A and B are shown apart, each in its own frame.
Chain A
Amino acid sequence: SVQAHKEGKPQKLMEMNGHTPALHSYDYDLIVIGGGSGGLAAAKEAAKYEKKVMVLDFVTPTPLGNSWGLGGTCVNVGCIPKKLMHQAALLGQALQDSRKFGWQFTEEVKHNWMTMTESVQNYIGSLNWGYRVALREKKVTYENAYGEFVGPHTIKATNKRGVEKLYTAEKFLIATGERPRYLGIPGDKEYCISSDDLFSLPYCPGKTLVIGASYVALECAGFLAGLGLDVTVMVRSILLRGFDQDMANKIGEHMEEHGINFIREFVPIKVEQIEEGTPGRLKVTAKSTNGNQIIEGEYNTVLLAIGRDSCTRKIGLDKVGVKINEKTGKIPVNDEEQTNVPYIYAVGDILQDKLELTPVAIQAGRLLVQRLYAGSTTKCDYVNVPTTVFTPLEYGACGYSEETALEKFGEENIEVYHSHFWPLEWTVPSRDNNKCYAKIICNIQDNERVIGFHVLGPNAGEITQGFAAAMKCGMTKEQLDSTIGIHPVCAEV
């Protein structure tokens, strides 16, 4: 079929107004809006079934003008650079430990932000490139253009030079993800950065104020401090909302003991520039959440990490009737990732009531495509999805938090087994005795089935993955007890 490369001609407009193009004349079988974890996984999967697929990906620059390549949040400004910088911070700790294990080198060891950032960005660049090649090899059409619906089965793609093209498809997949939220206070967009800017910052951020208590805030604060920077975290109320609060507090405690300052129960009300520079100097004024106390502080960098907003409000969803949650911007879908418009689907961070995780988006995207084109009936299993927070003391979790379990099952029906442990590798360098911790939550009524797993310690992600698999197999406390531990590792606890 002929591609409609018409640039806003009236002919096409008439076609759009009320006349749905006939089935055989769609340009594509599937158009994916958003080239991130979910979108790319779905696109590549669809191509496997010989479908004609297009991916539209476009990064609206940050308020400070930052942008990036194909791959979405995870690859460019999420999981990947975050984990690499977390690793850089862990290596800093390893340097200190190594002296106790007999390694000798000069007393003073400094970190060079630019060396790290350049390496990280180079790696990301290779991933961007890799994705473009993969799409090309699988014959998926890719356009670096902003997609928005203009009518039934029709999308308008605008590239960065403003050139518009129209495309039609039988089905659509919205996978536009999210972007960091701003505070809406004076100076926020002009002077503050977000995680969208941090990982490619062309200068060391220096003394940093992190605003927020999300995992993004704590992970960033964590590695910045690990690299030797003076870090303060300003928290409105609780840490890691939605996570097990007992674990969240332990994480916070550990961070505080390791030199990160916390300002609790304050919200910033304005950010002013004292001095320009890379970094410059900023003055932050904050107000207490209970009372009238006002405080001021001076920082080189202010990092906003108060939450993320779905990119669903400016993609023409109203033109095709896709309902979104007006308050949150998220898209409600059924258990087959279908929106209220039958030929439009959605995956990833924009989904209502689903976990905002790369592997979930990938799994959902792939399974959706297999159902659409390969006759599969398998739906994405959102139960017991494991996750890990890569704070200095890592936290891996799968299943219920203690509070949610208590709420759902009642105190008399759950049993919590827990233990502190001291990783063998921390003994010689005399690190933090009694900080690492693990707990499992069991449902007494269901054969003491393990319904929640939480571990705080090094390599929490590696540890948690296998336990998540075991939980998927219905592991009970008895089975856990009868499994022999590998010695000496943390996971055996």
Chain B
Amino acid sequence: GKNEYDLLVVGGGSGGLACAKEAAQFGKKVAVLDYVQPSPQGTRWGLGGTCVNVGCIPKKLMHQAALLGSALKDAQHYGWNIAQPVHHTWSVMAQAVQNYVKSLNWGHRVQLQDKKVKYFNMKGSFSDPHTIRGLTAAGKETVITAENIVIATGGRPKYPMHIAGALEYGITSDDLFWLKESPGRTLTPFVFNVSLECAGFLTGIGLDTTVMMRSIPLRGFDQQMASLVTEHMESYGTKFLKRCFPTRVEKLENNRLQVTWKNTDLDTEESDSFDTVMWAVGRAPDTQSLNLERVGVKTNPETGKIIVDASEATSVPHIYAIGDITEGRPELTPTAIAAGKLLAQRLFGQSSELMDYDNVPTTVFTPLEYGCVGLSEETAMQCYGSDNIEVYHAYYKPLEFTVAERDAAQCYMKMVCLREGEQRVLGLHFIGPNAGEVIQGFALGIKCGATYPQLMKTVGIHPTCAEEITKLHITKRSGLDATVTGC
């Protein structure tokens, strides 16, 4: 029989919506299924996926709230008279952020309507390679058939199920941004950047925050930069419990939570009470209810992620996957969006351009931001050998920190280049204010094959932090002091 739709996208997040809207541009009949399974704590949200509702957007806004707290302190040095005490009200911020997110949900619905993409608020699962069974919250069923199906269901935060009380009493990032009341004294046992970011802004708005980590922070990122980031957070006021892992969570009479953990350094068991425990132990792909086995879509048995080739195709013809759910891809909104658009262009627009996942820039929005593109120093050393790479680096002080009397000990940047030949830039790492803004343009340069001499020929813009990148000249190899001095 004839399929109802040319394209059915399961998952209305960054990747899914981008793909659907792009396909609609080609005059195709497109439908999007989006459904949010409430979190164990009961939190739910509208169309737009993780980024819009419980990811990038609310995270950056709350990060901004924390930055504004620092700005208030700086402002006094710059002559602004603000009567003390200054305090922060969670509910005002949360309300404002939630309202903005809701406006985005609305905006997405309007956009889909404008582009004539059919939207179903339903949970989808496969019946056969061209058929999806959609189920509403009320249990009403709809059967949808499509020529092509794109799976873009993303991921959800994991709970450490082996820890007693974790599920009942803990929350995750899915819940944090939707809390109506302040989380209070918070513990985040963590592994990944989202939670460092959360711990950062919670500290910034004045909450007593502790990060617990078993081993290294920001696994997968350049480790020197990761330590500088956490060092800064420590001096900023976030507490760290290093080389510890939680063993159980219990509820106290006053509704607070008692967390017990093992300190692997001292080999002791310790315990303390908190208002909130926010788990950030990783995200798991949302594939369980999709019924992938029914149609034979292969997933990685360890991670549960869908295996795709360079064209985003799964093991089943006409079924594709993009975004956080795919194996081996960066879990970032812009890559999902780009992959989604290119996929639609290949399916319906006669394009053959594949997604380039190399040199994807990213930024961790901790109180002192970390932006990077390309290889970490360790990876570069591994790939090319330490004799074949040169690392230029510098400690600098943002001009705005001077009058504000702010410590810039962790404001640092480094460029990893090939040592021979034209000295191509392999990786660029920057810690400082507005790291995302700084790195973006350089990411472009790296895509154009930027070399160290080319960056040195670029004249700096003065006074900015970014200009220091064009002045990097001290190598790690030289052992010289890498502190930037005056103009």
Interface residues of A (CB under 8 A from B): 37, 40-41, 71, 74-75, 79-80, 83-84, 87-88, 91-92, 94-95, 97-98, 100-106, 109-117, 119-120, 123, 127, 130-131, 134, 227, 357-360, 362-363, 381, 384-388, 396, 424-425, 427-428, 459, 461-470, 472-476, 479-480, 482-492
Contact = CB atoms under 8 A, between A and B. Distances in A.
Contact of B458 (A40, A123, A468, A492): A468
B90 interface: yes
A87 B400 contact: yes
Interface string B147-171: 0000000000000000000000000
A461 B61 CA distance: 22
A427 to B, nearest CB: 5
A87 B464 contact: no
Nearest to A88: B78
A110 B270 CA distance: 49
A269 to B, nearest CB: 35
Nearest to A367: B457
Contacts of A485: 334, 361, 440
24 contacts: A71-B487, A80-B399, A83-B400, A98-B68, A102-B94, A109-B81, A113-B79, A120-B403, A123-B402, A385-B459, A386-B461, A396-B461, A424-B61, A425-B60, A425-B64, A461-B464, A464-B466, A465-B461, A468-B458, A469-B455, A470-B442, A483-B443, A485-B361, A491-B436
Contacts of A466: 438-445, 466, 469
Contacts, number: 292
Nearest to A493: B440
A459 B437 contact: yes
Contacts of B56: 487-488
The 10 A-B pairs with the shortest beta carbon distances in the complex, nearest first, are A466-B441, A102-B93, A116-B79, A465-B466, A491-B440, A489-B436, A467-B441, A466-B442, A101-B65, A88-B78
A105 B84 CA distance: 7
B427 to A, nearest CB: 14
Contact of B466 (A363, A461, A488): A461
B437 A360 contact: no
Interface string B451-472: 1001101111111111101100
B96 A102 contact: yes
Contacts of B97: 428
A424 to B, nearest CB: 6
Contacts of A80: 399, 463
Contact of B441 (A105, A359, A470): A470
Contact of B445 (A92, A114, A358, A472): A472
Contacts of B450: 469-470, 472-473
Contacts of A396: 461
Interface in B77-93: 77-83, 86-93
Nearest to A118: B79
Contacts of A470: 441-442, 444-445, 447-448, 450
Contacts of A102: 65, 88-94, 96, 205
A469 to B, nearest CB: 4
A490 B441 CA distance: 11
Contact of B51 (A98, A482, A487): A487
A114 B470 CA distance: 35
Contacts of A87: 78, 399-400, 403
Contact of B439 (A473, A486, A488): A486
Interface of B: 51, 56-57, 60-61, 64-65, 68-69, 71-72, 74-75, 77-83, 86-94, 96-97, 100, 205, 332-335, 338, 356, 359-363, 371, 399-400, 402-403, 434, 436-445, 447-451, 454-455, 457-467, 469-470, 485-487
Contacts of B360: 484
A195 B151 CA distance: 60
Nearest to B444: A470
A489 B363 contact: yes
B447 A482 contact: yes
A376 to B, nearest CB: 12
A265 to B, nearest CB: 32
A131 B360 CA distance: 40
A123 B486 CA distance: 12
B406 to A, nearest CB: 12
Contacts of A71: 487
B403 A112 contact: no
A105 B86 contact: yes
B440 A469 contact: no
A386 B100 CA distance: 35
Contact of A388 (B371, B436, B461, B487): B461
B362 A486 contact: yes
A443 to B, nearest CB: 15
Contact of A119 (B77, B334, B458): B77
Contact of A459 (B86, B434, B458): B434
Given A102-B93, A103-B72, A467-B441, A115 B79 contact: yes
Given A84-B403, A465-B461, A490-B437, 6 more contacts: A80-B399, A87-B400, A102-B93, A115-B79, A467-B441, A488-B60
B441 A463 contact: yes
Contacts of B449: 473
Most central of B75, B360, B465 by chain A CB within 10 Å:
B75
B80 A103 contact: no
A98 B69 contact: yes
A475 B440 CA distance: 14
A95 B462 contact: no
B194 to A, nearest CB: 13
A119 B78 contact: yes
B90 A469 contact: no
B83 A105 contact: yes
Given A470-B441, A492-B334, A464 B461 contact: yes
Given A87-B400, A470-B448, A486-B334, A427 B100 contact: yes
Contacts of B74: 91
A112 B81 contact: yes
Given A79-B462, A109-B82, A428-B61, A95 B72 contact: yes
A98 B71 CA distance: 9
Nearest to B361: A486
Given A112-B79, A134-B485, A427-B100, A381 B441 contact: no
A74 B64 contact: no
Contacts of B462: 74, 79, 357-359
Contacts of A104: 86-89, 92
Nearest to A390: B463
A463 B79 contact: no
A46 to B, nearest CB: 16
B68 to A, nearest CB: 4
Contacts of A475: 444-445, 447-448
Nearest to B399: A83
Contact of A130 (B205, B448, B454, B486): B486
A492 B486 contact: no
Given A102-B65, A105-B72, A469-B442, A462 B437 contact: yes
B445 to A, nearest CB: 4
A489 B60 CA distance: 9
A103 B69 contact: yes
Nearest to B62: A101
A482 B356 contact: yes
A469 B436 contact: no
Contacts of A79: 462-463
B50 to A, nearest CB: 12
B68 A103 contact: yes
Most central of A113, A466, A479 by chain B CB within 10 Å:
A466
Contacts of B442: 465-466, 469-470
Nearest to A123: B402
A484 B399 contact: no
Given A104-B88, A484-B332, A484-B360, A424 B437 contact: no
A462 B464 contact: yes
Nearest to B93: A102
A354 B153 CA distance: 55
Nearest to A227: B79
